[in-house]
Chains A and B, each alone.
Chain A
Amino acid sequence: MTAVDDPRQLAYIAGQASDARVNLEIETEGMTLNIGPQHPATHGTLRIVVKLDGERVMRAEPIMGYMHRGYEKLVEVRTYPQVTSLINRIDWLGSFANEVPFILAAEQIMGVEAPPRAQWIRTLLFELSRIANVVLFLGDMGVQLGAVTPVFFAFRDREFVLNQIEAVTGGRFHPNFDRIGGLKDDIPKGWTEETKGVLGRIRKFCDEMEDLVTGNEIFQARTRGIGVIPADVGLSYGLSGANIRASGVDWDLRRDGGIGLVHDQLDWKVWTHPDGDSFARYWVRLQEVREACNMVEQLLDGIPPGPVMAKVPRIIKVPPGEAYVETENPLGVMGYYVVSKGDLVPYRVKIRSASFNNISITPWLLEGTYVPDVVSILASLYFILGDIDR
């Protein structure tokens, strides 16, 4: 038995031991907080299990699937025209945009192309549903940070966009308007002028948001430098849409993808922001609404004459084959992988929805943040529950 007899060494050991005891006593167990499934911040049924130390998040884990509706399986027993009525419930705020990539994929397998007029109106409705969708985000961001007023402005002005969509399609929320080979109907008389008036309102709304929210010191303090996603991390998690553009990645499928829609014939700009924080994501979306207004204006002026429906058989049988088409939807990249065996119904459909990937970054992103920031970061990532769980 070797005894330590150096007094200094003994004092050191004693000190260490007492430190260890104190540490044991002080060390507290973290608190596990279930944010959701029912919680005001998740606007739906997302559950995030957060392990807290005080108010600091040690670990966050999103648990998805509370709203899983099995769309991929359900479309396997529906004919191609029936599928659109189902899938525009995926991202329920910009529902027309959900139909577009599926129809494009089906058209690709069939080798059908929609007439130019149909393509223009398709793009038009695609951008209108983007406005209807993102306008609500701009208001909702304020609500999540405690400012209740912006969301009422958002709902007020979004109503006009929905009215325009309804005037064409007959459906406010679920248009079910896109058809293989074109569109169900042409636009009604006088619609062009009305829509231009609505664009004026939306532009005014954007200016209002700039005044009311963007310039607010508290809003900036709450969002700048919070939830920073570096470009490489964002790409590795498969982020898309405004979330990745806010990290400085200049990537937009409307410009870079280029299938079926006529964005390449318009004069517009892809907005990016170098910061990658919550504020950048908000700012990029605000600019995108303005850009979408510009696009819609050009689209309204440039709709070519002609039919809105190509020659397709009455009963649609898609020949064997497969296609993957993705488009830049309001929430990010949305893609459909459609496999056909020559039946009335698709053999298999895989849906790639934007929010699922966008929300997957939360465990990495939320670690070390505070509880209030959890909410602001989630709001800025902008997910729709239906788009996560399909």
Chain B
Amino acid sequence: MSDLLTLAVELAWWQQTGIRAVLGLVAVLLPAGTLVYLFLFKMMSFMQSRLGPMEAGPHGSLQLLAEVGKFLQKEDIIPEKADRIVFKAAPFVVLISTFLLVLVIPAGPDAWFIDVDTGIFLALAVSSISVIGILMAGWASSSKYSLLGALRAAGQLVAYELPLLLAVVGVVIQAGTLNVQGIVMAQATGEIFGWGGIGNPFILTQFLGFAIFLIAVQAELTQPPFDMPVAESELVTGYLTEYSGLRFLLFFIGEFATAGIFAALAATLFLGGWYVPGIDPTSDLFNVIGPAVLLGKVILVSFLIFWFRFTYPRFREDQLQQLAWKVLIPLSLANIVVTGVLKVVF
């Protein structure tokens, strides 16, 4: 992004920062809103043979504003025995991890927030911050349901952090870089057995990695079938039980924004990110259409995520851990070994 801004017009530092902050907000809120309307409201209703919101705006498209307005009006209740400071801070900690995550994802050859050599490493590292927020929420609520939910969340996120990371290692080996922009470029300029027509999106060679990544993302997002931490039929809503009003809304935005950003990460790592075949990857055109392409791919990936969400029942805590440690981690390790060997051979 900085490249782009300095190229176009000479802007003062505060102007650049202001534009970046606004773009950051857009990058977090736009996918979140899209996902909520498209999947939570409409696709879920379609699958459950009902209409969903229809009144606010055409086909209920303004329902989101109504929901936000509703939450803003509600009283922000803090339980009497709660640890007030921690209770109030928890949703922001969760949101911080979301905002940090969005930084590393490029939306065009020059359209990026930060371009660090260890981009993907940074992304996976900051994604774990949300666990702290969830633990804070669960502990500070002074409710047994919240506590159980938070402990389950901590156990689950630690267990699924590993396959998430290991699934990415395959991609990193193949691309030969930790830089996210570099990974996109490697896919855009890659060749399939000498044919470079569509580049080489890593979903073809790293399909196992893609599957593991999506399953782990599902668990990271605590969505069904991995929604043990919020399991509404047993823990009421887990660590969210005591939250209301604005703070609940923040958790909610955090959840769906993170879903969008993980989908963007998956799209970047496995589907070629902002690149579409047929156009030179270094062309300036991608700075304009890149964000739209990326959003399209995000919707594609999150369709998968939400399809699972609305179809499956949830695992039990021990079954969930077994899946992570006994199936996903060995599989992803095998994936790394095979990828490494093939990388050396070819």
List chain A residues, Cβ under 8 A from B225. Answer: 146, 218
List chain A residues, Cβ under 8 A from B227. Answer: 146
- How many Å from the CB of B202 to the closest CB on chain A? 28
What 4 A-B pairs are tightest by C-beta distance, nearest first?
A: A146-B314, A152-B48, A145-B313, A147-B313
Q: Which of B44, B225, B312, B313 has the most CB of A within 10 A?
A: B313
Q: A33-B144, A221-B316 are in contact. List 15 more A-B contacts (CB 8 A).
A: A39-B236, A142-B313, A144-B233, A146-B314, A147-B313, A148-B44, A148-B48, A149-B310, A153-B49, A156-B49, A218-B319, A221-B319, A222-B315, A372-B228, A372-B231
Within 8 A of B (CB), among A212-266: 212-213, 216, 218-219, 221-222
A148 to B234, CA, bound (A): 14
- How many Å from the CB of B92 to the closest CB on chain A? 28
A385 within 8 A of B: no
Residue of B nearest to A212 (CB): B311
A373 to B47, CA, bound (A): 27
B50 within 8 A of A: yes
List chain A residues, Cβ under 8 A from B312. Answer: 146-147, 216, 218
Say yes or no: B231 contacts A148, CB within 8 Å.
no
Say yes or no: B236 contacts A372, CB within 8 Å.
no
List chain A residues, Cβ under 8 A from B228. Answer: 372
B191 within 8 A of A: no
List chain B residues, Cβ under 8 A from A142. Answer: 313
Say yes or no: A218 contacts B233, CB within 8 Å.
no
Per-position contact with A for B305-335: 1 when CB-CB < 8 Å, else 0?
Answer: 0000011111111110000000000000000
List chain A residues, Cβ under 8 A from B231. Answer: 146, 372, 375
A4 to B232, CA, bound (A): 60
A374 to B234, CA, bound (A): 8
A33 to B145, CA, bound (A): 8
A160 within 8 A of B: no
B295 within 8 A of A: no
- Selected from B44, B48, B234, B236, the residue in CB contact (under 8 A) with A371 is B234
* CB<8 Å pairs between A and B, sample of 23: A39-B236, A55-B148, A144-B233, A145-B314, A146-B227, A146-B233, A146-B314, A147-B314, A148-B44, A148-B224, A149-B48, A152-B48, A153-B48, A219-B313, A221-B315, A222-B314, A222-B316, A222-B319, A370-B316, A370-B318, A374-B234, A375-B231, A375-B234
A329 to B314, CA, bound (A): 31
Asked, given contacts A146-B227, A372-B228, whether A216 binds B234 with beta carbons under 8 Å apart, the answer is: no
List chain A residues, Cβ under 8 A from B234. Answer: 35, 40-41, 371-372, 374-375
Say yes or no: A40 contacts B232, CB within 8 Å.
yes
Within 8 A of A (CB), among B223-247: 224-225, 227-228, 231-236
List chain A residues, Cβ under 8 A from B232. Answer: 40
Residue of A nearest to B232 (CB): A40
Say yes or no: B50 contacts A152, CB within 8 Å.
yes
A26 to B12, CA, bound (A): 61
Say yes or no: A31 contacts B144, CB within 8 Å.
yes
List chain A residues, Cβ under 8 A from B317. Answer: 55, 370, 372
List chain B residues, Cβ under 8 A from A144. Answer: 233
Residue of B nearest to A42 (CB): B233
List chain B residues, Cβ under 8 A from A323. Answer: none
A143 to B232, CA, bound (A): 9
Say yes or no: B316 contacts A372, CB within 8 Å.
yes
- Selected from B44, B48, B148, B315, the residue in CB contact (under 8 A) with A218 is B315
List chain A residues, Cβ under 8 A from B310. Answer: 148-149
- How many Å from the CB of B220 to the closest CB on chain A? 17
- Selected from A33, A39, A55, A218, the residue in CB contact (under 8 A) with B314 is A218
- How many Å from the CB of B141 to the closest CB on chain A? 14
Say yes or no: B148 contacts A375, CB within 8 Å.
no
List chain A residues, Cβ under 8 A from B148. Answer: 33, 55, 371
Residue of B nearest to A371 (CB): B234
- How many Å from the CB of A41 to the closest CB on chain B? 5
Say yes or no: A40 contacts B236, CB within 8 Å.
yes
Q: Which of B228, B312, B315, B319 has the most CB of A within 10 A?
A: B312
Residue of B nearest to A144 (CB): B233
List chain B residues, Cβ under 8 A from A35. Answer: 234
Per-position contact with A for B15-49: 1 when CB-CB < 8 Å, else 0?
Answer: 00000000000000000000000000000100111
Residue of B nearest to A146 (CB): B314
Say yes or no: B313 contacts A41, CB within 8 Å.
no
Say yes or no: B233 contacts A149, CB within 8 Å.
no
- How many Å from the CB of B62 to the closest CB on chain A? 24
List chain B residues, Cβ under 8 A from A146. Answer: 224-225, 227, 231, 233, 312-314
Residue of A nearest to B319 (CB): A221
A167 to B177, CA, bound (A): 70
- Selected from A39, A156, A218, the residue in CB contact (under 8 A) with B313 is A218
A69 to B313, CA, bound (A): 35
A142 to B313, CA, bound (A): 7
- How many Å from the CB of B307 to the closest CB on chain A? 11
List chain A residues, Cβ under 8 A from B144. Answer: 31, 33
Residue of A nearest to B314 (CB): A146
- How many Å from the CB of A93 to the closest CB on chain B? 18
Residue of A nearest to B152 (CB): A55
List chain A residues, Cβ under 8 A from B313. Answer: 142, 145-147, 213, 216, 218-219, 222
Per-position contact with A for B77-89: 1 when CB-CB < 8 Å, else 0?
Answer: 0000000000000
- How many Å from the CB of A380 to the closest CB on chain B? 13
Say yes or no: B233 contacts A41, CB within 8 Å.
yes
Residue of A nearest to B49 (CB): A156
Say yes or no: B311 contacts A375, CB within 8 Å.
no
Say yes or no: A149 contacts B311, CB within 8 Å.
yes
Within 8 A of B (CB), among A51-73: 55
Per-position contact with B for A104-148: 1 when CB-CB < 8 Å, else 0?
Answer: 000000000000000000000000000000000000001111111
List chain B residues, Cβ under 8 A from A41. Answer: 233-234
A152 to B227, CA, bound (A): 20
- How many Å from the CB of A83 to the closest CB on chain B? 36
